[in-house]
A and B are shown apart, each in its own frame.
Chain A
Amino acid sequence: MGEERKSFRNTIVLIVGLLVFWQLMYFVVGDVAMRSPWQTMRSTVELARTDWFWLHVDNTMRAFAAALVIAIVLGLLIGFALGLHRLSAEAMEPMLVALYSIPKITLYPIILLVFGLGMSAKVAFGAIHGIIPVALFTLSAVRSTRPIFVKTGRVLKLSKPAMVRSILFPAAVPEIFTGLRVGFSLTLIGTVLGEMFASQYGLGHLLMNAIGLYNVEVIMSVTFLLVVFAAIVNGILLAIDRRLHFRA
């Protein structure tokens, strides 16, 4: 497995490189606005000892989990519904791409007006970030299923649900998984963004609060934790993703 060892080595080199860059930035910017990697690790550990911090983490994670479930379920439904119908797929794909590229953050006030301040607004905001990539990847996966699979299904006289369950879905799994991976990241970003703008709890709120209080330690620690969390989960998903694509 030379390939795997190589990518492992690259990751290590990269992490070391980023830490060096961070330390150098710290030397340039100074104590006014930054903390060094070592100081950040220490303040992160300190932060992790407090109860209120976990309250915020818990809040963010619950909102994120709910948003992710909604994004995946709706994204898959939309993707399959459009992908099964040729004209719909052709017409809706560019529209979904256009939706994907708009700054969804401008929709946040509308979501707040509809859902009110609190958990449901955050969940909705996270979900709208995740739905579109999941739907887009599912749609294109369903459309690009090898025709011979679909024909086999027709020969076997499968009903539509049976066709989705035993042919289209298994054939589309690798692509769909890529969609889930992208959806995962975007939902996390959406949830935290939602908290930054209007929320009383959560890591996003903690960040905004820390700007107000000029609390550099908290800003560095929370940013650090978010980045590490996103990077680790994405790394795991990416590994599974590559394996699925390799098998297919």
Chain B
Amino acid sequence: MRRATLYQIAVVVGFVLLLEALCLGGVIDKITMPPPHRIAIDFVNLMLTGKLYPEIGKSLANVLLAFALAYVIGIATGTALHGFKTVRETLDPLFATYYAIPIFAFYPLFIIIFGLGDGPQVLIGFLLGVVAVIVTILNGLDRVPRVLRKTALISRLGPFETAMHVTLPFCAPYLLTAAKLALAYAFIGVIGSEFIMARNGMGYEIGFAYTNFDNATMYPLIVLILLLSVILNGILTHWEKLLLARRGQH
């Protein structure tokens, strides 16, 4: 095994053991946080009863929807935008400032416009992700060698076919980076909005469990969300590395 991997495992194990020691030693009291082994048992119990599966399913469906919308619309917009230099230059200040804007601040506004349902949550996840996808795709398209575009011209491909068969396949690593960003933002947007104000979903359940001092539900759910986002992120990162290695760019 690589030394860096061992290091990572050591950090995680060390952190969990430290928490365990602090909890058992009474430095962290039981109401604040149950010891990690207790959380693990609660986690298994919660998964076995399956009473929160509808909530989990609903959140994941919304995450997936927000991700798909941000990804598809982002790629389409980015690809279209790449052909219009002036429009792109005009939008540049927006792209540069976009992530400084607290998008969550729009959530109350969306609730008032669309009502308290799935719409505003998906919209927040979508809005958080879409610009990252556009910027990443533009960045990738900038790197397409001229010769490939010329080849497409010689083969008389239209703009759509050029994008589908030439430029976007070339950008595959960027497409993966974009997917990673869109997924992370979809998670943050959907779970975050559920947390602020919603009627159901994982984020809502965490908030609900918090108000009821129900640590046996709250901690396993938090762990579940963290695990899901770390694992999905890990899979995409791994795939990205494989692609880059195949292209000899690492």
Chain A interface residues (CB < 8 Å from chain B) = 6-7, 10-11, 13-14, 17-18, 29, 32-34, 87-88, 90-92, 94-95, 97-98, 101-110, 112-114, 182, 184-185, 188-189, 192-193, 196-197, 207-208, 210-211, 214, 216, 219-220, 222-223, 226-227, 230-231, 233-235, 238
Contacts and interface: CB of A to CB of B under 8 A. Distances in A.
Central interface residue in A10, A184, A188, A238, by most chain B CB within 10 Å: A10
Given A101-B230, A238-B96, 17 more contacts: A33-B109, A90-B7, A95-B11, A101-B233, A103-B191, A105-B196, A113-B33, A184-B100, A185-B100, A189-B102, A192-B104, A208-B108, A210-B108, A219-B108, A226-B102, A230-B100, A235-B97
Central interface residue in B5, B102, B209, B234, by most chain A CB within 10 Å: B102
B11 A102 contact: no
Contact of B196 (A14, A104, A185, A196): A196
A14 B90 contact: yes
B92 A10 contact: yes
A63 B101 CA distance: 18
Contacts of A108: 195
Nearest to A241: B96
A106 B195 contact: yes
Contact of B229 (A102, A216, A222, A227): A102
A92 B7 CA distance: 8
A103 B7 contact: no
A225 B101 CA distance: 11
A10 B89 contact: yes
Nearest to A8: B93
Nearest to A219: B108
Contacts of A112: 210
Contacts of B33: 110, 113-114
Contacts of A103: 187-188, 191-192, 225, 229
Contacts of A33: 109, 112-113
Given A7-B92, A101-B229, A227 B195 contact: no
Nearest to B195: A105
B172 interface: no
Contact of B100 (A105, A211, A234): A234
10 contacts: A29-B113, A33-B113, A90-B4, A101-B180, A102-B187, A109-B206, A113-B33, A196-B104, A208-B196, A223-B109
B203 interface: yes
Given A33-B113, A95-B8, A103-B191, A223 B106 contact: yes
B108 A105 contact: no
Interface in B213-250: 218, 221-222, 225-226, 229-230, 233-234, 237
Central interface residue in B3, B89, B196, B225, by most chain A CB within 10 Å: B196
Contact of A227 (B93, B102, B197, B206): B102
